[in-house]
């Protein structure tokens, strides 16, 4: 029997979570949204950060396949202020990113399996091969435009929910 790809596993987890949430898909964190597209076709989901009782929503593309995880936001020339990408890794561990071929300065928000921010790497310099990490295990990383995390109060301890795109 063939093993499932990461996307297939996350889709299966999403279906199971949807059933557990009464098929609403709302306010129920999941590992990934169903396959609906990439940057060329639209956003897959929204990440919602709970910052001091207020919700901060980011429209995201989901990267959960090896080629998506390695490509990320490389070669992009612009990023809408409320847009980004969520990286969903198959395992929780310390993850490191570089900015090679990435033209946009970014904030990287590292999130653990309990969906809590464990750290933020702010205002990363574009076009570098310097490794960026927070030195703590994460299962998710959300990339947004530089300054977004600070402007919206996203800090260690902030909770995150992943929701389906409408």
Please give the pLDDT value at position 40: 42
Q: What is the CATH number of domain 6-164?
A: 2.60.120.1140
Spatial distance between the Cα atoms of 166 and 147, rounded to a whole number of angstroms:
26
Structure confidence at residue 44 (pLDDT): 83
**Residue 3 per-residue DSSP state:** P
Q: What percent of the chain has pLDDT over 70?
A: 73
- 134: tokens are 């927070």
Give 114 or 17, the one with higher predicted confidence: 114
Q: Name every residue whose Cβ is closer than 8 Å to that of residue 156 and which is 6 or more positions away in sequence.
A: 116, 117, 118, 119, 120
Contacts of 1 (CB under 8 A, 6+ apart): none
CB 104 within 8 A of CB 126: yes
pLDDT of 124 = 96
Confidence check: pLDDT of 33 > 70: no
Indicate whether 164 pLDDT > 50.
yes
Residues 94-101 have a mean pLDDT of 95
Identify the pLDDT of residue 75.
96
Phi, psi of 105 (to 5 degrees): -65, 140
- For residue 92, the model assigns a pLDDT of 98
Beta pairing, strands 117-124 & 106-111: antiparallel
Provide the β-strand partners of residue 88: 140
Over residues 33-45, the mean pLDDT reads 50
Question: Mean pLDDT across the stretch 59-82?
Answer: 95
Task: Answer with the residue of higher pLDDT: 138 or 165.
Answer: 138
Q: Are 132 and 121 in contact (CB under 8 A)?
A: yes
Task: Check residues 36 and 71 and name the one with the higher pLDDT.
Answer: 71
* pLDDT confidence of residue 166: 61
Banded pLDDT at 52 (limits 50, 70, 90): confident
Q: Rounded mean pLDDT of 65-89? A: 95
Quick one: tokens of 60? 């995201």
Mention every residue, 6+ apart, whose C-beta is less than 8 A from residue 130.
98, 99
């Amino acid at each position: 029997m063939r093993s499932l790809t990461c996307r297939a596993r996350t889709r299966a987890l999403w279906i199971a979570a949807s059933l557990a949430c009464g098929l609403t898909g709302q306010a129920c964190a999941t590992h990934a949204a169903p396959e609906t597209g990439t940057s060329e076709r639209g956003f897959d989901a929204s990440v919602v950060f709970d910052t001091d009782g207020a919700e901060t929503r980011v429209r995201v593309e989901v990267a959960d396949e090896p080629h998506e995880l390695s490509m990320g936001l490389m070669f992009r020339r612009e990023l809408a202020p409320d847009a980004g990408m969520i990286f969903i890794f198959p395992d929780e561990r310390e993850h490191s990113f570089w900015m090679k071929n990435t033209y946009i300065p970014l904030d990287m928000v590292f999130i653990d399996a309990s969906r809590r921010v464990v750290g933020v790497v702010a205002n990363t310099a574009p076009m570098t091969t310097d490794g960026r990490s927070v030195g703590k295990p994460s299962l998710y990383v959300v990339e947004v435009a530089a300054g977004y995390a600070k402007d919206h109060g996203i800090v260690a301890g902030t909770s995150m929910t992943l929701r389906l795109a409408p």
